[in-house]
Amino acid sequence: MIIAIASGKGGTGKTTVAASLAAVWDRPLAIADLDVEAPNLHLFLHPSFSATTAAKMEVPEIDESSCNRCRACVAICQFKAIGLLGDAILTFPEMCHGCGACMAVCPQEAIRSGCRTLGAIGWGHTPEGPFLNGRLSIGEAMSPPLIRLVRRKIGILAQAENRDVILDAPPGVSCPAVNAVMAADVVVLVTEPTPFGLFDLELALDAFQSHDRRLGVVVNRAGIGNHDVYRLCERRKIPILAEIPYQDAIAEAYARGDIIARVHPEIQSRFIKLGQRLRISNNPSRCAPVREAHHA
Amino acid sequence: MSTIAVSSEGPDLDARVDPRFGRAAVFIVLDPHTMVFDYIDNGASQIRAQGAGIQAAEIVADAGAKTVLTGFVGPKAFKALRAAGVGVVQKVDGLTVREAAIRFASGMLPLDQAPSHRQARR
């Protein structure tokens, strides 16, 4: 089972939830931090890193002598990564999303596959299982190909040893977040019961809801704000899988870099239950609805 | 005199120069000697998520312009214009298209060799 921990709003507690869920998970596990612009899951899970490899993406390289300037590649590129200026055919590798359409349409087979380094992948190990993180280079804008690469690598590691996967996704609902969650069986949306949490949760539901992907919500900082997040989940029939109370002890543990599931047995049991609900929800029937009554 | 393209906020010579190149509203293509002009709507570049500058460079090159007058050209569009053999004059925003064309025709506006570091004013 592949579980992606995502959110519309940043700073709601994705990494907090991912680290705690990993710490209580009772099946073989593999973990990846896909927030490649600001990876921080390693600060909580403390993997020992054994290798760093360059992360590259495929970009077009045009052989000008065999190119007949037919414009097929220019026309199909949705990202303006190839331009025909007068007689000059130019590539802009930093614009390329790596879709490969230009190579597929070129009737002259004049486009070969070049590569461009986007960042690095850190290969590590934690007591919970293998750990990968993607690290986008400073100034680099093209994160989705790196996210897909890390996602594929952790998928291969997990499949070989029949491990479940926890993915710590980047915030938001645009390409990076979509690329992080698209192969997940279950997406856990972490939110907070505030107007900001509400607004971005609704965007995330719109972006990620799909017939073949189950969604559930974790309400972090429960107790602050208002009830609108709960009402939204009720209206959209999205189960609330866990609530994490707004408590000084939790904030302090987070600030120390501790895993909050280890702060107190009561908090730990919430994550154990979250794990159980995720496994039930992976049953093709339906998500197990779990709502404590006091916020309805 | 050879054809020039001026990024413009409107479709005539008395419109203001659009400080943005890639996301300019319109390009006025004209002969600065006769002031005979045509305009090209750049709306398709304006709505692009990315690559507006490269597309705009293709548009002005295809229109036969040998020089672009504008506010600011980004590095990718600059590279594209250079490849097409189109010269670039930046920082002419604040003028009308007519004023910019007259100044260029009188030799008051030298070509830039690199993208301007100043961002376009909004």
Of residues A168 and A212, which shows the higher confidence score? A168
Mean pLDDT, residues B17-26:
96
DSSP string, A156-223: HHHHHTT-EEEEEPPSSSSHHHHHHHTT-SEEEEEE-SSHHHHHHHHHHHHHH-BTTBEEEEEEEEET
Number of H helices, E strands in chain B: 4, 5
Which residues are paired to A213 by β-bridges?
A210
Residue with tokens 């036969």: B64
pTM for the whole structure = 0.83
Per-residue pLDDT of B94-120, as tens digits, reads: 999 999 999 999 999 989 988 876 554
Best of B46, B48, B58 to mutate (most A CBs within 10 Å, chain A): B58
- CA of A90 to nearest chain B CA: how many angstroms apart? 7
Largest CA distance in chain A: 72
User: For residue B116, what pLDDT is reported?
Assistant: 76
User: For residue A282, what pLDDT is reported?
Assistant: 60
In chain A, the domains with their CATH numbers are 2-55+120-295 (3.40.50.300), 58-117 (3.30.70.20)
Question: Is A221 within 8 Å of A246 (Cβ atoms)?
Answer: yes
A71 alpha-carbon distance from chain centroid: 36
Task: Examine the predicted complex and report whether its ipTM is higher than 0.90.
Answer: no
Per-residue pLDDT of A52-95, as tens digits, reads: 999 999 999 999 999 999 999 999 999 999 999 988 999 999 99
Task: Please tell me the distance from the alpha carbon of residue A132 to that of residue A153, in angstroms, as a whole number.
Answer: 8
Average pLDDT, chain A: 93
User: For residue B121, what pLDDT is reported?
Assistant: 47
Per-residue pLDDT of A93-126, as tens digits, reads: 999 999 999 999 999 999 999 999 999 999 999 9
Residue A71 touches partner B, C-beta closer than 8 Å: no
Which residues are paired to A82 by β-bridges?
A91
Residue A83 touches partner B, C-beta closer than 8 Å: yes
Per-residue pLDDT of A125-144, as tens digits, reads: 999 999 999 999 999 999 99
Residue A75 touches partner B, C-beta closer than 8 Å: no
Say how many Å lie between the first and final Cα of chain A, rounded: 30
SS3 B99: helix
User: For residue A163, what pLDDT is reported?
Assistant: 98
CATH 3.30.420.130, applies to B4-105: yes
Residue % of chain A over a pLDDT of 90: 90
Tokens of B68: 């672009």
Per-residue pLDDT of B27-48, as tens digits, reads: 999 999 999 999 999 998 888 8
**Which residue, A119, A121, A117, is CA-closest to A53?**
A121
User: For residue B24, what pLDDT is reported?
Assistant: 96
Mean pLDDT, residues B61-77:
95
Task: Please tell me the distance from the alpha carbon of residue A77 to that of residue A9, in angstroms, as a whole number.
Answer: 31
Question: Is B2 within 8 Å of B84 (Cβ atoms)?
Answer: no
